[in-house]
Amino acid sequence: MNKLEREPERWGIIGGTGLDEFDALEIERVVAVDTPYGEVSAPLTFARLAGTPVVFMPRHGAAHHLPPHKINYRANIWALAQCVEQAVAVAAVGGITPACVPRTIVIPDQIVDYTCGREHTFFDAADVQHVDFSEPYCSDIRAALVQAAAIAGVTVQSQGTYGATQGPRLESGAEINRMERDGCDVVGMTGMPEAALAREAGLRYACCALVVNEAAGRGPAVITMDDIMAHLHAGMIQVKALLTALP
């Protein structure tokens, strides 16, 4: 198993849809990691981003070949937790509430899990531990993201609730109605079990969510991949600027 040294000052960045690559990275080394939980999505890229040390992992793989329900979340989080203490997860999401229009960036403070059948814990044997998940995202990392956004001149919503669905299909209008009643502001497919695993692993973790479409029943037209990709490419410029301004 590869030996990794934890570096408290280094940021972990989990790239989501639209951030499989990050051209601004000044790459130091690329490390293939073996984990007790199988293969990670891609080797870890140790780099500098505007002088800040980071380790980058594309959640869906370098070629974006892993759908949300096939990602090995346990392996990814275990690998990151060996080398960093803090991580930002980038995610493309749908907007549910009126404020979450396409190209809005949300730094969620809560999450609701609608996924099923995923390996969702490191504690599945006799050594079970029950971690507190009242505040699923680290408040310090969320504050750092908001501060970085201000430095970069990027507008963000500093709170919101992320509803995590199974995918890969998009949701029905009735499902989105239920999620709004549950208090969800945005909907995505990768938020869980990633956030809970990060908490179990002692990884300070927060999410930077880019709205790339209006959720089912919230827009005037059928959701198309062309529209999603247009919003994704435009909005990801702002996300990259925010990440580049991290301290």
Q: Report which of 141, 149, 150 is spatially closest to residue 109, judged by C-alpha positions.
A: 141
- pLDDT attached to residue 1: 39
Q: Which domains are seen in the chain, by residue range? A: 7-244 (3.40.50.1580)
pLDDT at 68 over 90: yes
Would you say 199 and 133 are in contact if contact means Cβ atoms under 8 Å apart?
Answer: yes
What phi and psi, each to the nearest 5 degrees, are found at residue 169? -70, 155
Give the pLDDT of residue 3. 64
pLDDT in tens, 183-229: 999 999 999 999 999 999 999 999 999 999 999 999 887 898 999 99
Average pLDDT over residues 110-126: 92
pLDDT digits (tens, 9 = 90+) for 170-195: 999 999 999 999 999 999 999 999 99
Helices (H), the chain: 73-81, 139-152, 173-181, 194-200, 225-244
| Residue 125: pLDDT band with limits 50, 70, 90 | confident
Sequence-distant (6+) residues with CB within 8 A of 29 are 45, 46
Count CB neighbours of 234 within 10 A: 13
Give the pLDDT of residue 175. Answer: 97
CA quadruple 89, 92, 96, 99: dihedral, nearest 10: 80
Give the percent of the chain with pLDDT over 90. Answer: 85
The tokens for 66 are 């892993």
Residues forming a β-bridge with 86: 11, 204
